[in-house]
Amino acid sequence: MATVSGPDGDAPSGVEFIHEEDGRVTARHVESGVTSFGDTEAEALRQLADALDSHFGEGEEIEDPDAYLEEMGIDVEIGSEGPPPWLE
């Protein structure tokens, strides 16, 4: 079972790290609730920084999502309901 607490046993502020049973580490921004994970605290924190940029609208805008996905090697099959709203 994952456990979370601050050094004094109270709920932490800022960023909390949750050490999962499978060895991964989840980093959670307490104020916004945005989370990300990695194999280490440092990796989870780097991923969280990117997630926070995206959450607060400070990420890089992607002009051509299809070209970006192809460049990243991600093969996306669009279902019968069409693309998700953020790709329109």
pTM: 0.57
Domain that holds residue 70: 15-75
Residue 24 near residue 32 (C-beta atoms within 8 A):
no
Of 21, 50, 19, whose CA–CA distance to 34 is shortest? 50
Count how many domains the chain has: 1
Q: What is the pLDDT of residues 55-86, one digit of tens each?
A: 888 777 888 988 888 888 887 776 777 777 76
Residue 19 near residue 38 (C-beta atoms within 8 A):
no
Structural domain includes residue 85: no
CA 73 – CA 16 distance, rounded (Å): 32
Residue 27 near residue 40 (C-beta atoms within 8 A):
no
Structural domain includes residue 25: yes
pLDDT attached to residue 22: 94
Structural domain includes residue 10: no
Structural domain includes residue 19: yes
Structural domain includes residue 86: no
Structural domain includes residue 2: no
